[in-house]
Amino acid sequence: MTTEVSSQSQSQSLIEKMHSQCNSLPSKHLGYINYTEHPSPNNYSANFINLDTDTDINIDTHSYIHNSNTLLPNFISKYINYTIDIKIPSYSLYNNENVLNRSLWGTDIYTDDSDIIAILFHSGILHSNDPFGNNNPVVSTVKNFNFNANVNDLTDNQRISDELIVRLRILPTLNKYIGKFRNNYNSRSWTNSTHDGVSISIDSIYWSRNSNTL
């Protein structure tokens, strides 16, 4: 128990340190990306705002999607301390291949190619006795996150159009990313070489409930 508390304190200190370093930088919102489990130019959907005029948003180039499982485009490295929303349809929270493959690197601060739903499980925002199973995950209110009041659990009967909206903050690249076992889920470490992208952390989340939910 002491080790777990110490690890959480160290992670929180790292987040606070990173945010403190970025406080002097401008902070705007970049819009949103619709989550898809396997992004490609054919299924990518986003609405970007507040971009510089020289930013390339052509989804057919490698500056946008540099491999089949990367949701965040490369150009976000120009926008440290900005935020961006990821809109996740409720059906993507179940039987997700990226969760099964543990496609995430780091703890609390993650590489930008980490899967957002895997991050939610590791952070304890989505919690389940078995993240790899079919049982319904539940959205939890966790300390140190700025949750909006309309976060609800996923045990209600919902329409497929309901979305979990995750606001990410873009942070500088770390020298290394240390994985940890938390909330029945193990993240990976990235220590052998410098990550070629940037970092992300969760800024806030909220559940967008369809007005026609049964």
- Residue of 44, 25, 47 lying closest to 36 (CA atoms): 44
Q: Who contacts 90 (Cβ-Cβ below 8 Å, separation ≥6)?
A: 154, 158, 160, 162, 163, 164
195-214: per-residue pLDDT in tens? 889 999 999 888 776 544 33
pLDDT at 213: 39
Local structure of 38: helix, strand or coil: coil
**pLDDT computed for residue 8 by the predictor:** 53
Alpha-carbon span 109 to 111, nearest angstrom: 7
Q: Write down the pLDDT at residue 55.
A: 83
Domain ranges in the chain are 2-208
Does the pLDDT value for residue 9 go beyond 90?
no
Comparing 66-80, 91-105, 109-123, the range with the smallest average pLDDT is 66-80
- What's residue 54's pLDDT? 85
In the chain, what percentage of residues exceed pLDDT 90? 38
pLDDT at 105 over 70: yes
Q: What is the pLDDT of residue 103?
A: 93
Is the whole-model pTM more than 0.85? no
Tell me what the pLDDT averaged over the chain comes to. Answer: 77
pLDDT mean over 132-136: 54
pLDDT (0 to 100) of residue 10 = 58
Q: 2-208 belongs to which CATH class?
A: mainly beta
Average pLDDT of span 146-154: 37
Question: DSSP letters of 71-134?
Answer: -S-GGGGG-TT-EEEEEEEGGGGSS-HHHHTT--BEESEEETTS-HHHHHHHHTSEE-S-TTSS
**Structure confidence at residue 40 as a pLDDT band (50, 70, 90):** confident
Report which listed range, 20-24, 29-33, 38-42, 88-92, is most confident. Answer: 29-33
Exposed/middle/buried for residue 175 (C-beta within 10 Å: 0-12, 13-18, 19+):
exposed
More confident residue, 200 or 131: 200
CA distance 16 to 213: 38
Averaged pLDDT, 183-191: 91
Arithmetic mean of pLDDT, 22-47: 89
